[in-house]
A = this chain, B = another copy of it.
Amino acid sequence: MPRLRDRRGSITIADFLRIWSQSRENVGTPYYANKSTMLKAAREIQSLLGEDAVSMDVDDLESHGYSEASTTNIDTRPVAAIMPTSTEEVSLIAKICNKYRIPMIPFGAGSSVEGNFTAPYSGFSIDLSRMDKILAFHEEDLDVVVQPGVNWVNLNDTLKPAGLFLPLDPSPTAHIGGMVATNCSGTNALRYGTMKDWVVNLTVVLADGSVIKTRRRPRKTSAGYNLNSLFVGSEGTLGIITEATLKLANVPSHFGVATVAFPTVKEASNAATAMIRSGVSLAALELMDDVQMRVLNQVGGTAGKLWQEKPTLFIKFSGSQRTVEDSTGASKSISSAHGGSEFVSATDEKTMEALWSARKSALWAMLAIRPEGTQIWSTDVAVPLSHLAEIVEQSKENSSKLGLFSTVLGHVGDGNFHQTVMYNPEKPDQVEGVKRCVDTMITQALKMDGTVSGEHGIGLGKKECLEKELGPATIAVMKTLKRSLDPYWLLNPGKVIDF
């Protein structure tokens, strides 16, 4: 406990020199090693971890620094991709990076879309995909301990016999590490929340190579600062996640799926809001607009079925048999009160799968129909529930005015939606158009008191948006926290916030 003092603390010369030298390095923009030093460090790591642990192959560096699916790409690449197999190896890598001042960019499945793993200052891509073990499964405690390279679909397959699952559903390729780093969610978030709600503890390697465990293994705690939630969603800028204990949920005994079409997005959204407000037990509540439904039909529909080309709600129910029945019935009557038509529901595995596959095929269908040379810009915002219909309609109108083909897909129960815009990167007017489209959407979302990212994160691409969202004082607090944990700004520099 600090002693009460009635005068200023004195300072020794040694203390002074230590602090001065630390302060000195904290002033101005961060200093990073040059390429030859980075290469030297990579060889040092290789000599310690083995030949196989470090790649400088051009294709490897490309796949670790560039992604076609991302909204934001740049020209620089990491000088090496490093593939550790344990927390100890990650710690050792961080110590070397700390010594030479080399950026460390954690890399998982590479499925993030906001430039989250680009290498603006080069450095090392720390690829955690070899750390793919399930370390412990505590069935009775409803939790599991995993390494960051575990794929969530594989994890859920393994857990299935025990009737448990991790109820997030981002891209099926995603790894736990990346899911934690971006606070992922997906269609299940309405019922189960986002990644932050499923983390019991994390093992994290800090910028200087020290290793911490955020917590022990209680499902509930009020002990000390919530470091879990600080690292969750920090996109690798505060530490490298090398182990995670995750809560699990019971797989519900019964499921149901329903789809229903509406004349307008407004009516679909109103029906969705009414379902939420009436307390119907919903597992997922998704919206796809008329254009997205048309795109599905262009690729032949799903499971042999062509869809009405109207804004459509996709609804999932789960629980006891009677809960599913009750919720399906309530959703049907709320839908028809809001102009819904062709309400189709199913509880058998095959039909549910067929109905839901339309929702799951949305992005794939867009990729399939795009003309050669075009790319897709897919970004997301979230707004308070009552504003969703308005911003979706505005965004559709806006892209159509600019002559761009776009679809909308919304996690409508969370006020979160994705607009996917097609454009030709070789045509400057289209590039300009897509940028204006996204800018307008973000400006609108902020006017409605929303956020510039509901689930994709900030990465390299949305830093300016984040400043607009939160303002300088709040950004300053984030910088203070970042600087306190990573004074040399080595962890994923250039992401989320700038120095």
Contact = CB atoms under 8 A, between A and B. Distances in A.
B220 A189 contact: yes
Interface stretch (A45-53, A59-67, A138-146): A138-146
Interface stretch (A4-12, A148-156, A308-316): A4-12
Nearest to A162: B277
A222 to B, nearest CB: 5
A386 B212 CA distance: 25
A175 interface: no
Tier of interface size on chain A: 35 or more
A319 interface: yes
Contacts of A7: 31
Contacts of A458: 222-224
Given A453-B222, A454-B218, A322 B319 contact: no
A11 B27 contact: yes
Given A7-B31, A497-B224, A217 B384 contact: yes
A474 B217 contact: no
The copy count of this chain in the complex is 2
Contact of A478 (B224, B234, B411): B224
Given A15-B27, A470-B224, A477-B227, A120 B1 contact: yes
A78 interface: no
A189 B196 CA distance: 16
Q: Which of A7, A221, A385 counts the most B-chain CB atoms under 10 A from its CB?
A: A221
A385 B219 contact: yes
Interface stretch (A79-87, A369-377, A481-489): A481-489
A451 B221 contact: yes
Contact of A453 (B223, B233, B323): B223
Given A19-B24, A224-B469, A227-B478, 20 more contacts: A2-B121, A5-B30, A7-B31, A9-B27, A10-B28, A210-B473, A212-B477, A213-B471, A216-B446, A218-B449, A222-B457, A224-B496, A225-B230, A225-B233, A225-B234, A250-B276, A319-B323, A323-B326, A480-B484, A484-B484
Please provide the 7 A-B residue pairs with the shortest distance between their CB atoms, ordered closest to farther: A229-B229, A9-B28, A484-B484, A140-B386, A250-B279, A141-B384, A217-B449
15 contacts: A2-B121, A140-B277, A141-B415, A193-B193, A212-B477, A214-B474, A215-B451, A216-B450, A218-B415, A220-B455, A223-B462, A226-B230, A250-B276, A480-B485, A481-B484
